[in-house]
Structure 1
Amino acid sequence: MKHIFLCLFAFFCFSCVKVSQNQQGPQVYTNVKIETVLDRDISIRALNVNDKHIFYGGEKGEFGYLNTADHSIAYIGEVDFNGNQPEFRAIAHTGDADFILSAGNPALLYKVNFFGKRMLVHQDNTAGIFYNALAFWNDQEGLALGDPVENCLRLLVTRDGGNSWKPVDCKQLPGFIPGEAGFAASNTNINIKGNKAWVVTGGAAARVYFTDDKGITWKAYDTPIIAGKATQGIYSVDFYNEDLGVIVGGDYTQPNQMHNNKAITFDGGKSWQVISNQALPGYKSCIKFIPNSGGREMVAVSFTGIAYSSDFGKTWKQLSDKGLYTISFLNEYTAYAAGKGGIKKIVFLEDSMD
């Protein structure tokens, strides 16, 4: 009996300590430190960061790599295609290679590396073609999003490591709404978790296209995000896990409009609830969950600055007015962001809540 009592006593003491720890509030960011790591006379909307390299694609046919450790330049190069310099607004990284995809016609998809080697793996000369985003499920299978062609979104899929790409048959896609399209604002129209992918649209309709079998079958879910005009809709999507996701957008021509421009899902994108309606922030081109935050913390950027939430998007703080187009996190404290003029390192400064 004595041993049982001691065990119960220890159990309850441990339980009390555990509850007390869980009741402590999260670390909350109150400011940011911004450092220029690449100064270039171009606009950059596509960025990928890992512990080795900062990989980017931009205007004037430029793509490049910085070493993450010291921000030294590993490679910067330009693509010239028949005397033209494409604008790269979509990039992606696999364990074997990197990819850059240009936005306009002709759409050019290159397989590249940080030694400057490049190979054209796909060219699309379809009238009116315009690509928005690029992502990979794994080293072999990837997905690209383009504006609609012949009354369906242009979705490209690769199954061989990016060496060849084929459009998804329109018959496999949900019914198209005329005027629906994507935005090539930040390379974050696609988000991938496991075998799943979420693709977001705007214009005539703000919907989420969803696949759970790596692009073989698709569904479309309605969202409450503002739509109806060519400049309105969902600009960015991010998922913390396969259930918790967030979308953001609005109308870039009315950046202070804060009505129905942010929403969250807890069921994998089947249903969406508006967050922070009629409150900060307004239009945003990119949103990301902060790593290791349990999904509570997220950051959204655009040319109007950096906004931060620590409560699943219910309330937001403006941390900086620095204009940026896209952001990629290295860890929970450090991110890299890009926009007009180059790339910035952003260190988030935190304050403990009691």
Structure 2
Amino acid sequence: MKRFLTFLALLLMIFSCKKENKITDSELVSISKIDTLYHDSISIRALTIKDSEVWFAGSNGKYGAINFETHKIFRGRIQFDTIFPEFRSIASNKEEIFIMSVASPGLLYKISNDKKVTKLVYQENGEKVFYDSMQFIDNSSGFAMGDPVENCLNVIKTEDGGKNWSKINCDVLPKVEDGEAAFAASNTNLIIRNNTIFMLSGGKKSRCFVSEDLGKTWNVYDTPIIQGETMTGIFTADFYNDKIGIVAGGNYENQTDNSTNKAITTDGGKTWKLIAKNKGFGYASCIQFVPNTEGKEIMCAGGTGIYYSKNFGEDWKKIHEAKNIYTFRFLNDSIAFAAGRNNVLRINLKK
């Protein structure tokens, strides 16, 4: 009996050690290197990758492009009357880059690929004007969305490659509820996948607006994300395809709260499931699926650092302490370009 008990204790100790030392899939991902590509006095929440360049637009009228192969940097600045606009939206088609300012006057500029021509193509004035995000579907069609100026989200579209823009009538769009708006945190609350458009709102009501016919008709669906106050709700979202999506955000005024600030959908935004309650990151500014991972791998940046998941967001590992990254985009599954306070960075992942 004594020998048996000794053997049993030894066996339990071995299994206990194995359990304690078990390394999860998420722990296998880390940041191997961060390179600073650009430094200036600027706040950047709009970033896009086009060909061999990463374009950015930010505060004080500043925008630019960095060739990540030649390391050549282009710097631009726009002044409108006496205003240096704050740009928080950026998008591109084959011919041009488009940047849009956040508040009245809402100013949308197109910039030629060679960076020689900058032209104002849309302007909107009004106390409630506040644009959050912009995306192109193809070379001709694009959309931009913002906070309500009437009883619906403020949505404009182009069908001629960005030369002309017009509003989508509120008769077509779902009505917003009291205190429902959107956040211009990272140019990520308007997403287009195939022929489906997703728009995410926040504030006192935080919902998912979906059009499956390129903006002709719309439906709106509730989400379980924290909401009810002005600075709560969805701040960022991404869709891996037209079915699998993730939303994140939280309470901007309580950035460590990670209780109900992330959710996933597998049916194109119709239903949502809370994930990682009281685990992982707090307030989220930008979340993105990692390319070529079937939606399993996700990275998030925000007020509590940079986090990574390898299991559809159920578990998260903090991979960097940086709290001043507002937006990022993946070049491939191992390299992301990020921006925020004063910097554009290249993040190299070790997997």
Q: Same fold (TM over 0.5)?
A: yes
TM value normalised by structure 1: 0.89
| Paired residues for 1:1-354 under 5 Å | 28-73=28-73, 75-113=74-112, 114-322=114-322, 323-350=324-351
Asked if 2 retains the 8 angstrom alpha-carbon contact of 1:34 and 1:344, the reply is yes
Give the Cα–Cα distance (whole angstroms) in 2 for the partners of residues 51 and 120 of structure 1.
Answer: 24
Output the CA distance in 1 between the equivalents of 2:217 and 2:182.
Answer: 19
- Residues in 2 aligned to 1:40 and 1:115: alpha-carbon distance in whole angstroms: 20
Describe the superposition over 1:251-295 as per-residue Cα deviations: whole angstroms up to 9, x where unpaired. Answer: 111110012100001111110000101111111011000001111
The letter of the residue matching 2:215 is G
What residue is the counterpart of 2:7 in the other structure? none
Q: What is the identity, as a one-letter code, of the residue corresponding to 1:165?
A: W
Q: Is 244-253 or 64-73 further displaced after alignment?
A: 64-73
Report the secondary structure of 2:132's partner residue: strand
Give the Cα separation in 1 of the matches to 2:340 and 2:187.
12
Per-residue CA shift, 1:283-323, capped at 9, x if unaligned? Answer: 10110000011111000012432110000000001100112
Q: What is the CA–CA distance in structure 1 between the aligned matches of 2:95 and 2:344, rounded to whole Å? A: 24
Whether the 8 Å contact between 1:151 and 1:178 is mirrored in structure 2 is no
Q: Is the contact between residue 102 and residue 131 of structure 1 (CA under 8 Å) also seen in structure 2?
A: yes
Secondary structure in 2 matching 1:230: coil
* Cα deviation digits, residues 117-155 of structure 1 (max 9, x gap): 111100000222110000011111111011111221101
Query: Deviation at 1:175?
Result: 2.5
Structure 2 unmatched ranges of 5 or more? 1-24
The answer on whether the counterparts of 2:281 and 2:305 sit within 8 Å (CA) in structure 1 is no
SS across alignment from 1:172: coil
Q: Which amino acid is 2:317 matched to?
A: K
Give RMSD over aligned pairs.
1.3
User: d(CA) in 1 for partners of 2:349 and 2:294?
Assistant: 17
Aligned-partner Cα distance in 1 for 2:232–2:303 = 16
Percent of aligned pairs sharing the same letter: 41
1:14 aligned residue: none
Deviations 1:187-222 (A, max 9, x none): 001111111110000011110000111111111010
Normalising by structure 2, we get a TM-score of: 0.90
**Aligned-pair CA distance for 1:178:** 1.4
| Paired residue type of 2:107 | L
Q: Distance in 1 between matches of 2:52 and 2:333?
A: 17
CA distance in 2, matches of 1:48, 1:116: 19
Structure 1: give runs of 5+ residues left out of the alignment. Answer: 1-24
How many residues align? The count is 325
**Offset at 1:26?**
9.1
Whether the aligned pair in 1 keeps the contact of 2:26 and 2:317 (CA below 8 Å) is no
Q: Matches of 2:27 and 2:274 in 1, distance apart? A: 25
Partner of 1:9: none
